[in-house]
Amino acid sequence: MRQVKKFILDEETHRESNCLVVTVICHGTESGLLLDRHRRKAWDTELLVGELSDVQTLVGKPKVLIIQACRGGNSEQMCPIPWALCCCEKTLT
């Protein structure tokens, strides 16, 4: 997830984009942190929104974040869901 976040926050990524749409399905914590597949704290949702607002090549462009995440509880029952971010899948591998 760190590589994805780095890619999303890179200004060059969005230079020719008209908008940003990010979809995340993962587990989370009661405090709003998103966890990666190894149950490490990966993203703070509030900080992510702030960081996206600072990306100059996204200023004035629509930004849509779709996040499906639990807020703690049964984190032992994680099921592996492969992530896919079509625009950067090739870049990250």
Is 33 contained in some domain? yes
Can you list the alpha helix ranges (DSSP code H) found in the chain? Answer: 2-9, 45-53, 89-92
CATH number of domain containing 21? 3.40.50.1460
Is 11 contained in some domain? yes
Torsion angle of C-alpha atoms 32, 47, 39, 80, degrees rounded to 10: 90
Owning domain of residue 41: 2-72
Residues counted in the chain? 93
- The β-bridge partners of 46 are none
> What is the pLDDT confidence band of residue 4, given thresholds at 50, 70 and 90?
confident
Is 92 contained in some domain? no
Six-digit token string for 3: 């590589």
Is 80 contained in some domain? no
Is 6 contained in some domain? yes
Residue 35 · residue 41 · CB < 8 Å = yes
pTM value surpassing 0.75: no
Is 68 contained in some domain? yes
The DSSP H or E segment spanning 22 is strand 20-28
- Per-residue model confidence as pLDDT tens digits over 34-56: 888 788 887 888 888 889 889 99
Six-digit token string for 57: 């090549």
